[in-house]
Amino acid sequence: KQEVTQIPAALSVPEGENLVLNCSFTDSAIYNLQWFRQDPGKGLTSLLLIQSSQREQTSGRLNASLDKSSGRSTLYIAASQPGDSATYLCAVSPETSGSRLTFGEGTQLTVNP
């Protein structure tokens, strides 16, 4: 059974800092890995999707890397802003079905002005 772990569970940083969120998964037979953002009481916004054959994806100040063999992914946020405050979730899908997502418990990020 796939298990996804995110570290840290919570993170508080001053505005402008660069930061790294970590995600690990136990079964390396994945189809893809996604990073999502969730604001309090809201649904999910997809940030980045990395196919299993890819090593990283970038979107603006966000960069996600994937090391499939070691079961790890990182989300790098550059020059953090208060608007980045949210819970960040990573999710993986198995090779057998690209849609069946297993989520981590998230990292709650607070960026202080």
Partner 1 sequence: GAVVSQHPSWVICKSGTSVKIECRSLDFQATTMFWYRQFPKQSLMLMATSNEGSKATYEQGVEKDKFLINHASLTLSTLTVTSAHPEDSSFYICSARDAGTGLETQYFGPGTRLLVL
Smallest gap from residue 2 Cβ to partner 1 (A): 11
d(CA 73, CA 24): 6
Binding-site string for partner 1 from residue 14 to residue 33, where x marks contact by CB under 8 A and - marks none: -----------------xx-
Q: 82-103: b or e for each residue (b if 16 or more CB lie within 10 Å)?
A: eebbbbbbbbbbbeeeeeebbe
* Site stretch for partner 1 (CB under 8 A), options 11-19, 20-28, 35-43, 59-67: 35-43
What separation, in Å, do the N-terminal and C-terminal C-alpha atoms of the chain show? 41
* Site stretch for partner 1 (CB under 8 A), options 11-19, 36-44, 54-62, 70-78: 36-44
Smallest gap from residue 111 Cβ to partner 1 (A): 20
